[in-house]
Structure 1
Amino acid sequence: MSHAPTHVTCSAVSFDWPDGTPVFDGFHWAVGPGRTGLIGLNGCGKSTLLKLVAGELSPGEGQISVAGTLGYLPQNVTLDTGARVDEVLGIRTTRAALHAIEAGEATEANFAAVGDDWDVEERALATLDQLGLARIGLDRTVGELSGGECVLLRLAALLLARPDVLLLDEPTNNLDLRARHRLYAAVESWNGVMVLVSHDRELLERVDQIADLRDGEVRWYGGNFTDYEAMLAAEQEAAERMVRVAEGDVERQKRELAEAHLKLARRKRYGQKMFENKREPKIVMGARKRAAQESAGKHRIMHTEKLAEARERLDQAVEAVRDDAEIRIELPATQVHPGRRVLTLTDLHLAHGARVEGEWEVRGPERIALVGGNGSGKTTLLRTIAGLLPPASGEAVTHVPTRFLPQRLDVLDDGRTVAENVARFAPHASNNVIRARLAHFLFRGARADRAAGTLSGGERFRAALAALLLAEPAPQLLMLDEPTNNLDLASARQLTGALESYEGALLVASHDVPFLESIGITRWLLLDGTLRPTTAQEVRESRWDG
């Protein structure tokens, strides 16, 4: 690392998507040393901001500067399956030259390739060990690794490069509990500038400050996520108090305006009566009438302006109160009666080695958590049940309409709009019905006309969930693979709310124990070579996960 002060600065940055959707307009942001947790609702631009800083996207206007070297871990890590571990770590050339020198090829080119990096292998192995990857070595290929191991390998490459600025986008996605704890330790030991986007509360407890991105602006909160929540709760309590005060002010101004109208009406009636009785000279009554009209006009204008000002203060107060909308749906067609057979697995051996001995059943609206370490076969089991992979032997039989939502959310056609994607799953539903249903999933009006390819991770998940839950026939067995990946904390709550309305059987593979507990899991199953019962307590303590 360099010893110069490191920072990231965004000055008057504007960025729009190709379809014209604005993301940032005159955006300003500066980040210095320390660990910064970047949070915000899905679709607010967190991942886009990291891509802009990393240079993967270019701003339409403004400038972005990074002092020092930069490393970036994207949300979806894709590595060449044929690449070797040392190649991903960026040390293959140096390592090859080092081995050549040790074998007697002491050429100038080999010495130049090694430079001062004589301990490159030791440092690489130490970095792999730090992340729990010591067993994979430097000569294996990426195709032999699990998805979680690929994420850790990409992080190992960044740690080995020792950049001054490190950007991490949802780094705990696809990581089992043991791997997550390895990553937590790496984050805690980081000394440079780190910006991490995450929905993982445990990870956010390890940051030095929270940057809350909302409506194109960042608000800063010192401390970790618990500190942020406490400060935000105090802010919201004050904002709600201001709403009550502003509402009272509006009502008071309404009463005063009504009273002013009443007084003016009485004066008008009195003046008319005086005029009819001719108790004063005509010129005096005319002057009095003009003065009264002028005074009445001023009085009315004053109270009308006060009411408008009070309403403006109320609008401002209401804007300060957060309204993170929740999904509200009714899904009676998904109902499964208790005791009804939903799924049967018989002597099932999966393509990648795991197995289910004997006969195993799901009956009624059970809610089952499928847990296990990375590479244990959870995704393979779900894909086998969904009919996307053939078993090595045995069979998996579903007895009710079934839908599967994979990690990659590839049930959506990126070139179609949200509404068009849902229509593919419910071809007999009218456009009006589809849009009414989508509104419950927070895709209202023009939002339903956005192309799936332009959606954020959380929006894409919501659209995919809508497509499956609104499908015909309604799914009575819903299988979800790591559903909270890419979801911010508000979206995870929205998902929990949506699943509360679901009346069918659930089979959920996840490492997110708090989420699993929030959706009312009735049975916990561990896949670790074989399928066996476990408990939430055992999962939390990671006894099955090393």
Structure 2
Amino acid sequence: MPSTHPVISVSGLTVTWPDGSPTLRDLDLALSRGRAGLVGANGSGKSTLLRVLAGRQRPSAGHVSVHGEVGYLPQDLDADPSRPVADFLGVGATLAALRAIEAGRSDEHLFEAVGDDWDVEERTRAELERQGLPSGALHRRLGELSGGELTGLAIARLLLARPDVLLLDEPTNNLDRAGRERVHDLVVTWPRTLLVVSHDRELLERVDRIADLRGGSLRWYGGGWSSYAAQVAAEQEAAQQAVTTARNEVRRQRRDAVEAERTLAQRRRVAATAERTTGIGKAARDYLVGRAERSAASYRHVHADRLDTARGDLERAEQAVRDDLTIRVDLPQTAVPRGTRVLTHTEAGLDIVGPERIALVGPNGSGKTTLLRSWAGLAAPTRGEVHVHVPVAFLPQRLDVLDADAPLAVAVARRHPGAGPEQVRARLARFGFRGAVGDRLVGDLSGGERLRATLAALLLADPAPRLLLLDEPTNNLDLASYDALVTALAGYRGALVVASHDQAFLGDLGLDRTIDLGADGVDGVGRGSLDG
């Protein structure tokens, strides 16, 4: 069970975008020892919060206190392909000093570089092996590793540093099943303080509590994912009932206000009739009129107050109901007649016919991304020839389609010079980017927001793609957007190929067959690796 003593304390934390708009505002956080998950909609500030806690980003205001050494795994690893793995792990200089000493050198600075780390190579190799990395990885360069292997390497770097606080941002992205299980085990066995941002429900099931970042504030829920989901569902059911009750009360108060005006009008008619029939004097008449007006004003005021109160209750009730973002893949004229050949990969013996839905699976490093890129026409195939017979769109794993330094609407328009500004804005709006959000820099978007933006850019193409190639599309998605993506792809009528390690996601897609590259890489396509 987590300790009650806070290891991380945050008060009044505010972080703003370069344009001055806030991503976090006046946030408070007290995180004690134990394992915690952090969830929230894309763009709510989860990754920003982790960067601030890790000391990678300065807040605009507020106080942050972290006790102990921090290990931080960012969502997007900035890795120079030419950098040696040993340097990335932080052991390059120590290993070089050891080699020099073993070769007979006795320079004092070499012994200082080694310090007490005489077993650094053994510890490093053991940690790499625990992360499923090949034995020779220590002497390779980062560019020789797959995305999943790079994530495993980054986790190994953290564990070698033995931090007191572990901050993980989507640690299972790009990992195959074995890699995910290793991260799950890490979360379960971590003995100190851990905060993880993730859309991986299996991982979130293993934390002690979950914080939901919404509207700039945190709300804590005890237990893992199942407990969190049940509590949120109960809250939302109550919130929806409160909205229904509040709307009914607003309607009742409006009816009462109308009835009150009718009553006042009737009183005025009665008073006018009495004045004509009784012949009362002017002074008495003025007195009665004044009293009636005062009574009417008070009567109106009471009903106006009641209506304002009912409206305020409705507004508060509606705010408690989650309006989670949904995205829609709505492609006109994307249908592919059944049996129509969509793609041919010669020598590999592979035909894709529409509207097939195919999963492309295999361990990290087996060549899934390479194969998709060749099918998309972005790289030469490693064997045979590729012929694509319909318009194709490729969603890359790194989401680097759009210019990071350009405003979103401008970046999308650059890819489609034939589309007018209104058409671009309309397409962005359908993916949740409305109003001024379209003016934000692409580089300032969260991972999930960048996925939606990239989808919007790809699907604006004319002609619309009839073959959609997706490389790990659930990376960086918040939970609501994950559900929305599954729903959207269920309605897509073209041919679909999805490379993913997320078995739950693949199970939700209604697949026709699976291409398993196995451990033999792309060549496995030609050796009976297709199963339906």
TM-score, scaled relative to structure 1: 0.91
Q: 1:325 to 1:77 in 2, by over 3 A?
A: closer
Per the alignment, residue 150 of structure 1 pairs with 150
Per the alignment, residue 429 of structure 1 pairs with 419
Judge conservation of contact 2:345–2:387 (CA < 8 Å) in 1: yes
1:370 aligned onto 2:371: no
Q: Give the partner amino acid of 1:524.
A: T
Judge conservation of contact 1:368–1:524 (CA < 8 Å) in 2: yes
SS of structure 2 residue aligned to 1:81? coil
1:456 aligned onto 2:462: no
Q: What is the distance in 2 between the residues matched to 1:374 and 1:315?
A: 49
SS of structure 2 residue aligned to 1:478? strand
User: Which residues in structure 2 correspond to 1:12-23 (within 5 Å)?
Assistant: 12-23=12-23
Q: Give the partner amino acid of 1:322.
A: R
Judge conservation of contact 2:71–2:167 (CA < 8 Å) in 1: yes
User: Which residues in structure 2 correspond to 1:86-165 (within 5 Å)?
Assistant: 86-101=86-101, 105=105, 108-133=108-133, 135-136=135-136, 138-165=138-165
SS of structure 2 residue aligned to 1:334? coil
Q: What is the distance in 2 between the residues matched to 1:360 and 1:145?
A: 27
Residue 342 of structure 1, CA deviation = 0.6
Judge conservation of contact 2:15–2:22 (CA < 8 Å) in 1: yes
Per the alignment, residue 409 of structure 2 pairs with 419
Q: Give the partner amino acid of 1:132.
A: G
**Structure 2: tracts of 5 or more residues without a match:** none
SS of structure 2 residue aligned to 1:303? helix
1:478 aligned onto 2:475: no
Range with greater deviation from structure 2 (124-133 or 519-528): 124-133
Residue 122 of structure 1, CA deviation = 3.1
Residue 112 of structure 1, CA deviation = 3.4
Q: What is the distance in 2 between the residues matched to 1:97 and 1:395?
A: 49
Judge conservation of contact 1:86–1:139 (CA < 8 Å) in 2: yes
User: Which residues in structure 2 correspond to 1:18-29 (within 5 Å)?
Assistant: 18-29=18-29
Q: What is the distance in 2 between the residues matched to 1:63 and 1:395?
A: 59
Per the alignment, residue 352 of structure 1 pairs with none
SS of structure 1 residue aligned to 2:516? strand
Per the alignment, residue 510 of structure 2 pairs with 520
Q: What is the distance in 1 between the residues matched to 2:148 and 2:329?
A: 34
Q: What is the distance in 1 between the residues matched to 2:328 and 2:30?
A: 38
Per the alignment, residue 396 of structure 1 pairs with 386
Q: What is the distance in 2 between the residues matched to 1:238 and 1:196?
A: 29
User: Which residues in structure 2 correspond to 1:74-89 (within 5 Å)?
Assistant: 74-89=74-89
Per the alignment, residue 397 of structure 2 pairs with 407
Q: Give the partner amino acid of 1:207.
A: V
SS of structure 2 residue aligned to 1:525? strand
Residue 108 of structure 1, CA deviation = 4.4
SS of structure 2 residue aligned to 1:332? coil
Judge conservation of contact 1:6–1:68 (CA < 8 Å) in 2: no
Per the alignment, residue 35 of structure 1 pairs with 35
Q: Give the partner amino acid of 1:117.
A: D
Judge conservation of contact 1:425–1:472 (CA < 8 Å) in 2: no
Judge conservation of contact 1:422–1:471 (CA < 8 Å) in 2: no
Q: 2:495 aligns with which of 497, 505, 525?
A: 505
Per the alignment, residue 224 of structure 1 pairs with 224
Q: What is the distance in 2 between the residues matched to 1:94 and 1:430?
A: 57
Per the alignment, residue 466 of structure 1 pairs with 456
Judge conservation of contact 1:100–1:110 (CA < 8 Å) in 2: yes
Per the alignment, residue 61 of structure 2 pairs with 61
Q: Give the partner amino acid of 1:437.
A: R
Q: Per-residue CA shift, 1:21-53, capped at 9, x if unaligned? A: 311222221212111111110011111111111
Judge conservation of contact 1:125–1:134 (CA < 8 Å) in 2: no
Per the alignment, residue 306 of structure 1 pairs with 306
SS of structure 2 residue aligned to 1:433? helix
Range with greater deviation from structure 2 (6-15 or 268-277): 6-15
Q: 1:417 to 1:494 in 2, by over 3 A?
A: farther
Q: Give the partner amino acid of 1:369.
A: A
Q: 1:495 to 1:428 in 2, by over 3 A?
A: same
Q: 1:251 to 1:455 in 2, by over 3 A?
A: same
Per the alignment, residue 430 of structure 2 pairs with 440
1:213 aligned onto 2:203: no
TM-score, scaled relative to structure 2: 0.93
Runs ≥4 residues deviating over 6 A: none
Residue 411 of structure 1, CA deviation = 1.5
Judge conservation of contact 2:328–2:485 (CA < 8 Å) in 1: no
SS of structure 2 residue aligned to 1:316? helix
Per the alignment, residue 272 of structure 1 pairs with 272
Q: Give the partner amino acid of 2:313.
A: R
Q: What is the distance in 2 between the residues matched to 1:66 and 1:468?
A: 42
SS of structure 1 residue aligned to 2:366? coil
Q: Give the partner amino acid of 2:492.
A: Y
Q: What is the distance in 2 between the residues matched to 1:313 and 1:83?
A: 59
Judge conservation of contact 2:213–2:219 (CA < 8 Å) in 1: yes
Range with greater deviation from structure 2 (139-148 or 468-477): 139-148
Per the alignment, residue 166 of structure 2 pairs with 166
Range with greater deviation from structure 2 (310-319 or 53-62): 53-62
Judge conservation of contact 1:331–1:501 (CA < 8 Å) in 2: no
Per the alignment, residue 181 of structure 1 pairs with 181
Residue 282 of structure 1, CA deviation = 4.2
Judge conservation of contact 1:247–1:314 (CA < 8 Å) in 2: yes
